[in-house]
Amino acid sequence: MKAPTPNRREVLAGAGAFVLGFWLPPRAAHAQTAAAHGAAWYSEPAVPEINAWIVVEPDDTVVIRIAQTELGQGVWTSNAMMVAEELQCDWSKVRPIYASANRDAREQAPAWTLQVPGNGATDPNGGGEPTFGNRARTGGFGIPDSLYRRMRTNAASSVKDGRYYLQLAGAEARERLMLAAANEWAVPVDELVAKDSVITHAKSRRTTTYGKVAARAARTPHPNPEAIALKPPEMWTLMGTEQKNLDIPMKVTGETKYAIDVRVPGMKWAAVKSCPVYGGDVKSFDFEAIRAKPGVRGVHQFPIPDPALTRGRVFSGGVAVIADSWYQAKTALDAMPVEWTVPPERAAFTTENMRAALKQALDEPGRVRVNQGDVDAAFANAKRVVEATYYTPYLPRARMEPGNATVLVTDDRVDIWIGDQSPQETRFSAAQITGIAEENVYLHLCHLGGGFGRNGNGPQAEQAIMIANANRGTPIHLLWTREEDFIGTTYRAMGMARLKAALDDDGWPLALEVRTSMQEDGFGPDASFDVTSRYYVPSYRFSNHTTKFHVPVGTRRGVGQAAHEFYRESFIDELAHAAGKDPYRYRRELIARTELPFKADMIKALDMAAEMAGWGTPLPRGKARAIALEERGVETGGSATISAMVHTVSVSRDGRVKLERVDVAHESGFGLVNPLSVKKQIEGQITWFYNDAMHQACNIENGAIAENNFNRFSLSRIDEDPLEINIEFFPTNHWLVGMGHDRGTSVQAAIADAIFQVTGKRFRELPLRQHDASWS
């Protein structure tokens, strides 16, 4: 029997047999969460908090609530370090837990947190103001004024956006703990010293601990928290030191609970198939064909998730089979006949016709973003013109943990167990789908098995909420297959760029024209080229040329900037070679000629990386070094992140490319909180962009993503990891934009240039493995 209409729904067999969804007071809800996770690590403390971020237990354990999601970037540790630096507690007794997104819906942020991190905040060293990369739930820029302020984990901004209010949270609690001790001893508070959770009154030779005065501190408000001064970097003792990540011990025993590991009593599993062509929907399915299969409990068709809940992106409609175990649900779903309704104009998309559209867009006028000097005149008079067109494909995040969420909806409450980079938005989605107020939505946050770009962009939560809302009273654990994860993710837009330069007799550029094309909703269309050229040129024009495609694009590690740095740095290499000049010195000179605010820092990065790598020393035939600059924000003079890397690459005669060694010069800005995490992230991003350069592409066939599992979509393994990575930091005095998503982009242009140096072949289309790099 075919399902006659959409919206057909099977009632769960046995639904309501176990009703867990009675309202629980917060304490009981936490106990339920702890039971579900089965790990003390996640349990809420039983004593009163000092403030919303900090609880000190009688044994001096300091519980620090983290409002960002740990996805491998080390935010549990770095956020805790910012709090603990000011709290002056014993770091060995710090225990992070997730902050409550439910409280965040119910409570406003303390007034003292609102004043400090605003745009008027400058650092005590005169390093300028941070520019906040955050957005409110409604899409406007800014940090929400709800309790935990920014709960998003995105844009490499956790340290920068949270720093002032997290430091202040630590300082406010420290002052209140000291005030409590002073009150107890009836001595002036300024005679006390606090260090490593011990408060000392030297005059009377008395000491106490945070744990002993915490209950009193919890009842002792601070008279003037706005006046508390924060420590500048030269006073830091914890921030700026290399600290191992606090959650690593649980990651080597298998004890860490990711969302996929959540088990709730009475839980059923949902396996999902959604239309592989975005914007498509279910035409029919035949549940009767599988109804009798083992464990099968029901079926639920869901529509295309409301684009208003997925930041305007149109995913697909689909169908879920619900069963006692996920394997049963998945095997039954595989056996269930499903037919799709696919909009023909969407099914007509292929990589080839999309590429042709992007190429055609490059020939059209486009939207001119920058126009300096007289580009047309310079080209009209030019004796020498260099032109190149580059291409980068669609790229997914492909995090290792497939999308999943567990949702329990009852008449007046929603519980969601999820690893989520944007819990405030998921809370909003839950309220919109169920009609239950955000104040009654409880998110139980879990570590994420990789993120790489705000996984809340995808509809995993929305699908799970829709399925659970149709099966109220039963917790539903939705888990995507890997293939489904490739449908539910958002992609970095495929793109093309045409760069054209007029050179003078000495090979220096007189004019540069940059045209970039990507679909109109692609992220970062202006990155790396906006406002002015990073490399000096008297006449400069930059234009965007957009198309309309159906693939949902979004924030993927590096966004458009990563592609743009491949275009820009590749082209500078091409110009240097055309000019017969050394690519390092060519870059250095062209930056020195600019008026860019951070040009000295960029030059420092290039010089340092070149020195570290032994730039210019001889290499055997088949090996080459290439250098490239990585920058974000140098055009504005506010926040920026600057690094340069030299990549040493070998190319065998039969064309095998090996990244041998990477030398990294990275600025430290206005303080790195945990340099160990920064190093790990740099190591990770080198491989991330190595994969973009060498291996990865998602092609479109008949409107659908073709490479949808790791047999067709390549991920490098340890054998391709460079044996030598050297990372050094150099001091600078401005806010970093963040360094979690656009470092290591240089590896793309560098490998392409190294191949050119060895083979004489210039490849301008990624991934490079499609090209023949053999030589003789």
Positions touching other proteins (CB under 8 A) are: 70-74, 244-245, 247-258, 260-261, 263, 294, 325-327, 398-402, 447-452, 479, 481-482, 676, 680-681, 683-688, 709-711, 715, 717-719, 721-723, 725
Length of the chain: 776
In single-letter form, the type of residue at position 244 comes to K
Residue 415's H or E segment, with its range, is strand 414-418
Give the shortest CB-484-to-other proteins separation in angstroms.
10
What 3-state DSSP class applies to 632? strand
Give the shortest CB-605-to-other proteins separation in angstroms.
21
Q: Which is nearer to other proteins, 329 or 629 (CB)?
A: 329
Q: Could you tell me which of 330, 354, 660, 359 has the C-alpha nearest to residue 482?
A: 330
Estimate the share of the chain in helix, then strand, then coil, as percent rounded to the nearest 5. 35, 25, 45
Q: Which is nearer to other proteins, 157 or 681 (CB)?
A: 681
| Angle subtended at Cα 643 by Cα 242 and Cα 369, rounded to the nearest 5 degrees | 135
Give the shortest CB-455-to-other proteins separation in angstroms.
12
- Residue keyed to tokens 């009675």: 22
Residue 185's H or E segment, with its range, is helix 158-185
Give the shortest CB-475-to-other proteins separation in angstroms.
15
1 and 286 Cβ atoms separated by less than 8 Å: yes
How many Å separate Cα 407 from the centre of its chain? 24
Q: Which is nearer to other proteins, 88 or 256 (CB)?
A: 256
69 and 424 Cβ atoms separated by less than 8 Å: no
Q: Which is nearer to other proteins, 395 or 497 (CB)?
A: 395
Give the shortest CB-126-to-other proteins separation in angstroms.
33
Give the shortest CB-614-to-other proteins separation in angstroms.
20
What 3-state DSSP class applies to 361? helix
Give the shortest CB-714-to-other proteins separation in angstroms.
9
Give the shortest CB-331-to-other proteins separation in angstroms.
9
Beta strand 414-418 with 657-667 is unpaired
Q: Which is nearer to other proteins, 249 or 337 (CB)?
A: 249
Tokens of 257: 């609970």
Give the shortest CB-482-to-other proteins separation in angstroms.
5
Q: Which is nearer to other proteins, 76 or 391 (CB)?
A: 76
How many Å separate Cα 102 from the centre of its chain? 23
In single-letter form, the type of residue at position 505 comes to D
Beta strand 623-632 with 539-547 is unpaired
628 and 569 Cβ atoms separated by less than 8 Å: yes
Q: Which is nearer to other proteins, 186 or 718 (CB)?
A: 718
The DSSP code sequence of 366-394 is: -EEEEEES-HHHHHHH-SEEEEEEEEE-B
Give the shortest CB-218-to-other proteins separation in angstroms.
33
Q: Which is nearer to other proteins, 260 or 605 (CB)?
A: 260
Q: Which is nearer to other proteins, 85 or 401 (CB)?
A: 401
121 — phi, psi (to 5°)?
Answer: -75, 125
Give the shortest CB-323-to-other proteins separation in angstroms.
11
What 3-state DSSP class applies to 438? helix
Q: Which is nearer to other proteins, 354 or 682 (CB)?
A: 682
Q: Where are the alpha helices (DSSP H) in 556-712?
A: 559-579, 583-592, 599-613, 675-694
Q: Which is nearer to other proteins, 31 or 725 (CB)?
A: 725
378 — phi, psi (to 5°)?
Answer: -65, -40
N-to-C CA span, the chain: 64
